[in-house]
A and B are shown apart, each in its own frame.
Chain A
Amino acid sequence: MDMSQYLDIFLEESTENLQTLNENILELEKDPDNKEIINSIFRVAHTLKGMAGSMGFNDIADLTHKMENVLDKFRNDILKVDSNIITVLFKCLDTLELMINNIREDNNNTVDIKEIMDLLENINNEQTKNTKSDNSIDFSLNIYDENIIKQAKEKNYNVYIAEVILADDCLLKSARAFLVYKTIEDIGEILKTVPSVEELEQENFNDRFYIMFLTQKNEEEIKKLILNVSEIKEVNIDIPKGSDLKINVKEKDEKIQINKEVQDNKTKKDTEITPINKKEEDKDKNKKAHQSVRVDLERLDKFMNLVGELVIHRTRLEQLSMNYKLTDLHETLEQVGRITSDLQDLVMKVRMLPIERVFNRFPRMIRDLSQELGKDIELIIQGEDTELDRTVIDEIGEPLVHLIRNAADHGIEPTEERIKLGKPSKGTIKLIAYQEGNKAVIRIEDDGRGLDIEKIKRKAESIGINTEGMSESDIKNLIFMQGFSTSDKITDISGRGVGMDVVKTKIANLGGTVEVISEKGKGTSFIIRLPLTLSIIQALLVKVSGETFAISLGFIDRVININVNEIKLTNNKEVILYRDKIIPIIRLSQKLNLEETYSENKYIVIVKAGEKTVGLLVDELLGQQEIVIKPIGKLLQNLKEYVGATILGDGLVTLILDVAAIV
């Protein structure tokens, strides 16, 4: 059968499954007794195994199968969840991810799974040893039972303990157990079962159970009878040694009984609360599954592009109708205008994804980092439902990883140091996302040692930057310069000083900005501002030296009309005084190497980029318009002043200014 048609969906679903596994296992580490989580992990792993198996990816299927075995041990309380095993499980997930990526890239790389398989096997084996020793089954008998035994023995009855092992894939286990129970009941008297009858009924057992009973039949006969029930793998009959049993077992058992009760209560409580949530969750999931459709991103991009074209032509039509003053056309166009705006909103929303997509890999990362660094770090995530354009989501991960690694490695102090400083021993890294106007803001805050200004200054001077007269925040923002690393030691966790400038470039490429606020000893915050959407923006069209330019409204604070003579010079820089504030001025004509037109009456567009407020001097304002950003192509890529170009209503190609780069 040709499976290639299912490959895409397999890849997508298995990636989702891996993510769920990552999250759940992380959760499990925090809450090892939560059966709900284990079950959910088990389910997802099982799905993954099934999918991989039917696609013929046997390595993946084998590995998940081994994983499942371990999980099954958790599920049946044979194995305790500990951080070693969790680490191995995470390793499995990493390996699986690698394998799935190889399939995605179709690169024929094979991943050696022998090592990880051995690790899993070891865990599995360890457990078996444990069961053997742990499961020396305790039959506690009360005096009443003991009397019965005594009397029974006198009447030629024997006491047996039958260990019944069900077939591996036995379904309806408790009905099966009940059948065995009934079979034994027909030939004798049952004294006790381990686990208890109630537990057997609730299927609270693994593949085996024990029944202690009195009968006149001999071992062989009993065995044969029990084996006559189908789906029984093995029956072992044991004759308990009378006196041993009583004394030994009793003392031991009281303890166990108590423990067991406590645990039972606990699990009961857990299960009592969780099912409700669970159901609701399932319901939600079902709902979602029915209401969503998977769409190839390429199609969405095409859709977006077409809507973009539509917007361009609409503006052209509008212009024409204005020129020819056709009222009828104008009215229709207004209608078309509304619909295109709606369409545009819609396609924009379709492309938006919650930033959760990016954030959800960080808890795992922090866990690994804290282990690696021997630091106790807590990650707090807020606003993961903030939505961003798909392109931004795809690109923002890498810079965030870098910043978080930095925070964990350089920001958060080692535990002893924190204690010495009187800080809580556990370091905190906060990852917060929220929407602010037409921007999405992501903050990465740590409560670590903060940036060391002196160190940055020294470093700056050593590479030839004069820091004199620079404000503290300017100095701090130097860390985004190329070749800037103040860390004394280089670790493989965070960079060699190639990082921060890459972070900044990456974010700038997305039309975003990043800045740093830091207080020594208290911590560091990185604030990333990103546009919500990339391709269609509201822009102000301005004229400079006869050329038209577009400025994204997102940056614009306000526009003022000034007389050129109001511009003053301080410190060799041009500024204006506006509402008692000194605002530095950039003459766009100068910046863009255009010949300045002389006129007294000009406009200042006050823009805000990050923490900076700057006035851009322009000749004329043409008005506000929706524009579609088109990349300007490879040839002109080096023009840092522009983010792209757009086609206006009159067919004119206009450059869009990159405010962040200019100020």
Chain B
Amino acid sequence: MARVLIVDDAAFMRMMLKDILTKNGYEVIGEAPNGAKAVEIYKAERPDVVTMDITMPEMDGIQAVKEIKAFDPNAKIIMCSAMGQQAMVMEAIKSGARDFIVKPLQPERVLEALKKVLG
């Protein structure tokens, strides 16, 4: 069972994602409301995959990707982006994100991305 870390500043989004994931057999090992917290949890828990929001307070998703990648170059991170954040998504990909999903989240898309990243 793959272990997932959910990072999003909106509790609603975290709840939704958690719902989708747990219903489909993933284990959510942690939730982080910002990038800094995400890096902290990643280091402690070493999850298999991270879903990462882009715009967040304190530390944004892109910075978090950079820091997690620096810590673990094999980290698998999927960005969660809203429409119109194309440039940010590319920036995140350059920083090492493996895939991205676009909000509003469609469960099948989320699962597809996770499945593929976990290969």
In the complex, the answer to whether B116 meets A175 with C-beta atoms within 8 Å is no
In the complex, the answer to whether B109 meets A228 with C-beta atoms within 8 Å is no
Bound CA span A513–B101, Å: 66
Specify the chain B residue showing the minimal Cβ separation from A181. B93
In the complex, the answer to whether A230 meets B101 with C-beta atoms within 8 Å is yes
Report the minimal beta-carbon distance from B106 to chain A, rounded to whole angstroms.
Answer: 9
Bound CA span A60–B100, Å: 35
Report the minimal beta-carbon distance from B84 to chain A, rounded to whole angstroms.
Answer: 8
In the complex, the answer to whether B99 meets A230 with C-beta atoms within 8 Å is yes
Question: Which B residues are closer than 8 A to A by beta carbons?
Answer: 81, 83, 85-86, 89-90, 93-94, 99-102, 109, 112-113, 116-117, 119
Report the minimal beta-carbon distance from A113 to chain B, rounded to whole angstroms.
Answer: 30
Q: Is A297 an interface residue (CB 8 A)?
A: no
Complex interface: chain A residues within 8 A of B83 (CB): 171-172
Complex interface: chain B residues within 8 A of A179 (CB): 93, 99-100
In the complex, the answer to whether A230 meets B109 with C-beta atoms within 8 Å is yes
Q: Which 6 A-B pairs have the closest CB atoms?
A: A230-B113, A175-B89, A171-B102, A228-B116, A230-B112, A178-B90
Specify the chain B residue showing the minimal Cβ separation from A173. B86
Report the minimal beta-carbon distance from A405 to chain B, rounded to whole angstroms.
Answer: 47
Specify the chain B residue showing the minimal Cβ separation from A182. B93
7 residue pairs bridging A and B, Cβ less than 8 Å apart: A171-B102, A172-B81, A172-B86, A172-B100, A175-B86, A228-B117, A231-B109
Binary interface encoding of chain A residues 140-182 relative to chain B, with 1 for a CB under 8 A from any of its CBs, else 0? 0000000000000000000000000000000110111011001
Complex interface: chain A residues within 8 A of B99 (CB): 179, 229-230
Q: Name the residue in A172, A179, A203, A227 with the highest tally of chain B Cβ atoms < 10 Å from its Cβ.
A: A172
Which residues of A229-247 are within 8 A (CB) of B?
229-231
Specify the chain A residue showing the minimal Cβ separation from B113. A230
Bound CA span A172–B119, Å: 23
In the complex, the answer to whether B100 meets A175 with C-beta atoms within 8 Å is yes
Specify the chain A residue showing the minimal Cβ separation from B117. A228
In the complex, the answer to whether A229 meets B102 with C-beta atoms within 8 Å is no
Bound CA span A484–B67, Å: 89
For B89, give its contact among A172, A229, A231 (CB under 8 Å).
Answer: A172
Interface size on A, residues (CB 8 A): 15
With A228-B116, A229-B116, A230-B116 known to touch, is A175 a contact of B93 (CB < 8 Å)? yes
Q: Does more than half of chain B's interface fall in helix, strand or loop, or is it mixed? A: helix
In the complex, the answer to whether A228 meets B119 with C-beta atoms within 8 Å is yes
Report the minimal beta-carbon distance from A570 to chain B, rounded to whole angstroms.
Answer: 82
Report the minimal beta-carbon distance from A232 to chain B, rounded to whole angstroms.
Answer: 9
Specify the chain A residue showing the minimal Cβ separation from B111. A230
Complex interface: chain B residues within 8 A of A174 (CB): 86, 90
Complex interface: chain B residues within 8 A of A182 (CB): 93-94
Complex interface: chain A residues within 8 A of B94 (CB): 182
Bound CA span A282–B6, Å: 38
Complex interface: chain A residues within 8 A of B109 (CB): 230-231
With A171-B102, A172-B100, A179-B100 known to touch, is A231 a contact of B112 (CB < 8 Å)? yes
In the complex, the answer to whether B93 meets A172 with C-beta atoms within 8 Å is no
Complex interface: chain B residues within 8 A of A231 (CB): 109, 112-113
Known: A228-B119, A230-B109. 12 other contacts (CB 8 A): A171-B102, A172-B83, A172-B86, A174-B90, A175-B89, A175-B93, A175-B100, A179-B100, A201-B90, A227-B116, A229-B99, A230-B113
Bound CA span A176–B113, Å: 12
Report the minimal beta-carbon distance from B115 to chain A, rounded to whole angstroms.
Answer: 8
Report the minimal beta-carbon distance from A185 to chain B, rounded to whole angstroms.
Answer: 11
Report the minimal beta-carbon distance from A233 to chain B, rounded to whole angstroms.
Answer: 11
Bound CA span A175–B113, Å: 14
Report the minimal beta-carbon distance from B92 to chain A, rounded to whole angstroms.
Answer: 9
Report the minimal beta-carbon distance from B43 to chain A, rounded to whole angstroms.
Answer: 25
Bound CA span A348–B36, Å: 64
Which residues of A66-104 are within 8 A (CB) of B?
none
Complex interface: chain B residues within 8 A of A228 (CB): 116-117, 119
Complex interface: chain B residues within 8 A of A201 (CB): 90
In the complex, the answer to whether A175 meets B90 with C-beta atoms within 8 Å is yes
Specify the chain B residue showing the minimal Cβ separation from A177. B90
Complex interface: chain A residues within 8 A of B101 (CB): 230
Specify the chain B residue showing the minimal Cβ separation from A225. B119
Bound CA span A172–B91, Å: 13
Complex interface: chain A residues within 8 A of B102 (CB): 171-172
In the complex, the answer to whether B93 meets A178 with C-beta atoms within 8 Å is yes
Specify the chain A residue showing the minimal Cβ separation from B119. A228
Report the minimal beta-carbon distance from B81 to chain A, rounded to whole angstroms.
Answer: 7
Which residues of A187-233 are within 8 A (CB) of B?
201, 203, 227-231
Bound CA span A176–B112, Å: 14
Report the minimal beta-carbon distance from B78 to chain A, rounded to whole angstroms.
Answer: 8
Specify the chain A residue showing the minimal Cβ separation from B89. A175
Report the minimal beta-carbon distance from A231 to chain B, rounded to whole angstroms.
Answer: 7
Complex interface: chain A residues within 8 A of B89 (CB): 172, 175, 178
Bound CA span A229–B119, Å: 10
Complex interface: chain B residues within 8 A of A227 (CB): 116
Report the minimal beta-carbon distance from B20 to chain A, rounded to whole angstroms.
Answer: 14
Which residues of A528-549 are within 8 A (CB) of B?
none
Specify the chain A residue showing the minimal Cβ separation from B83. A171
Specify the chain A residue showing the minimal Cβ separation from B92. A175
Bound CA span A8–B39, Å: 54
Report the minimal beta-carbon distance from A577 to chain B, rounded to whole angstroms.
Answer: 79
Report the minimal beta-carbon distance from A418 to chain B, rounded to whole angstroms.
Answer: 53
Complex interface: chain A residues within 8 A of B100 (CB): 172, 175-176, 179
Report the minimal beta-carbon distance from A172 to chain B, rounded to whole angstroms.
Answer: 5
Report the minimal beta-carbon distance from A472 to chain B, rounded to whole angstroms.
Answer: 68
Bound CA span A179–B93, Å: 7
Bound CA span A178–B97, Å: 12
Report the minimal beta-carbon distance from B8 to chain A, rounded to whole angstroms.
Answer: 18
Complex interface: chain A residues within 8 A of B81 (CB): 172, 175
Report the minimal beta-carbon distance from A597 to chain B, rounded to whole angstroms.
Answer: 82
Complex interface: chain A residues within 8 A of B112 (CB): 230-231
Report the minimal beta-carbon distance from B75 to chain A, rounded to whole angstroms.
Answer: 15
Report the minimal beta-carbon distance from A235 to chain B, rounded to whole angstroms.
Answer: 13
Binary interface encoding of chain A residues 327-338 relative to chain B, with 1 for a CB under 8 A from any of its CBs, else 0? 000000000000
